Amino acid sequence: MQAESNGSDHPIEVVLVAGMSGAGRTTVANVLEDMDWYVVDNLPPQMMRPLVELVARADGALPKIAVVIDAKGRTKYAELQATISDFVDQGLSLRIVFLDASDEVLVRRFESTRRPHPLQGEGTLLEGIEAERVELESLKHRADIIVDTSDLNVHQLSAEVRKRFSDDDTPPLRLTVMSFGFKYGLPKDADHIADVRFLPNPYWIPHLRGHNGLDSDVAEYVLEQNGAEEFIDRYAATLSTVAEGYLHEGRGYAMIGIGCTGGKHRSVAISERVGRLLSAQTGIPVTVRHRDLGRE
């Protein structure tokens, strides 16, 4: 839906994510959330318009909304059709993404998770799937995008969603390089950890002790040490290869931790340099953070 917020020039884009249970709605929701969409799962149809009106008052802070329709919530699809018609009658556009898969694939997916179909009741798994197809038939006909996930794995579906919903302002992958001090513990959410304690510690240089890796005198000292530039070049090249793999697999975010003893000198200087080099080599936005700087 493209709508103008009250008195604002900020358009609001709304996507309705629907489809067969087991066809990948959760995967689509996760990818859209990684792409900075505001995702609402299992929202009753009658709450869609109040949600959009509420977001409109945010004055552009939440311009993209994805509403996931889930059969587990016993959605009344007749009400949903009425809500969609209301959007159309008001001259607003609503994009509907419908996820489908063959009966055989859906049966296999449910059997692998050992969970019943939400519409199965006292019947068989296949009867639950057939009942859902009947309820969703009219919604499928109104869909703007239909994705058959029968032959797609999670990574392929993620890539398909990113391809369809990415724009020039949406980076396909976001990287964070974080300096830290080992004495304060490892970053729990780091995907890669590098240890730069093999370099001489500026802490033992009296005139550098009170400074940190953001200061030019400390950075120059660290980068002039034997092995520093070689490490930076090789590690950035390795991370560039890893980033290419993440892009191929449809991953949206990764964090690289670079540590020294206290997270004040060496790791800070190296993180700054690795972040700049990695961004230049890949073209991917890289955020550099310093977890423990100023902690002492």
Q: Specify burial of residue 167 (Cβ count, 10 A radius: 0-12, 13-18, 19+).
A: exposed
Per DSSP, 18 falls in state: E
Where is average pLDDT lowest: 27-31, 57-61, 212-216? 57-61
Q: Report pLDDT for 186.
A: 93
Q: Dihedral angle at the C-alpha atoms of 200, 204, 210, 214, nearest 10 degrees?
A: 0
What mean pLDDT is predicted for residues 205-228? Answer: 95
Q: How confident is the model at residue 60 (pLDDT cuts 50, 70, 90)?
A: low
Residue type, 75: T
Q: Report pLDDT for 11.
A: 62
Distances (CA, A) of 226 to 15, 36, 66, 223, 232: 54, 42, 52, 8, 12
Q: Report pLDDT for 8.
A: 46
Q: Where in the chain is the domain with CATH 3.40.50.300?
A: 13-165
The segment with the largest mean pLDDT, out of 61-70, 93-102, 207-216, is 207-216
Q: Report pLDDT for 5.
A: 42
CATH 3.40.50.2300 fits 13-165, yes or no: no
Q: Which residues contact 267 (CB under 8 A, 6 or more apart)?
A: 179, 180, 181, 196, 213, 258, 259, 260, 290
Residue type, 254: A
pLDDT at 88 over 70: no
Please identify which residue in the block is written with the tokens 């009170």.
Answer: 210
Quick one: what percent of the chain has pLDDT higher than 70?
86
286: β partners: 175
Q: How far apart are CA 33 and CA 37, in angstroms?
A: 5
8 Å CB contact between 78 and 136 = no
The segment with the largest mean pLDDT, out of 2-11, 12-21, 183-192, 248-257, is 183-192
Q: How confident is the model at residue 166 (pLDDT cuts 50, 70, 90)?
A: confident
- Could you tell me which residues are annotated as the binding site for ATP? 19-26
* Residue bearing the bigger pLDDT, 117 or 289: 289
The segment with the largest mean pLDDT, out of 23-27, 168-172, 248-252, is 23-27
148: β partners: 100
Q: How confident is the model at residue 71 (pLDDT cuts 50, 70, 90)?
A: low
What mean pLDDT is predicted for residues 14-38? Answer: 89
Q: What is the pLDDT of residues 90-105, one digit of tens each?
A: 655 678 899 999 999 9
Q: Report pLDDT for 74.
A: 52
Q: What is the mean pLDDT of the chain?
A: 85
pLDDT at 223 over 90: yes
Q: Report pLDDT for 72.
A: 57
Distances (CA, A) of 236 to 107, 258, 276, 286: 45, 12, 9, 12
* Residue bearing the bigger pLDDT, 9 or 122: 122
pLDDT at 183 over 70: yes
Q: Specify burial of residue 265 (Cβ count, 10 A radius: 0-12, 13-18, 19+).
A: buried
pLDDT at 254 over 60: yes
Q: Which residues contact 230 (CB under 8 A, 6 or more apart)?
A: none
Please report, for the chain, how many H helices and E strands are present, in that order: 10, 10
Q: Report pLDDT for 169.
A: 59
Q: What is the pLDDT of residues 148-164, one digit of tens each?
A: 999 988 888 888 888 78
- Could you tell me which residues are annotated as the binding site? 19-26
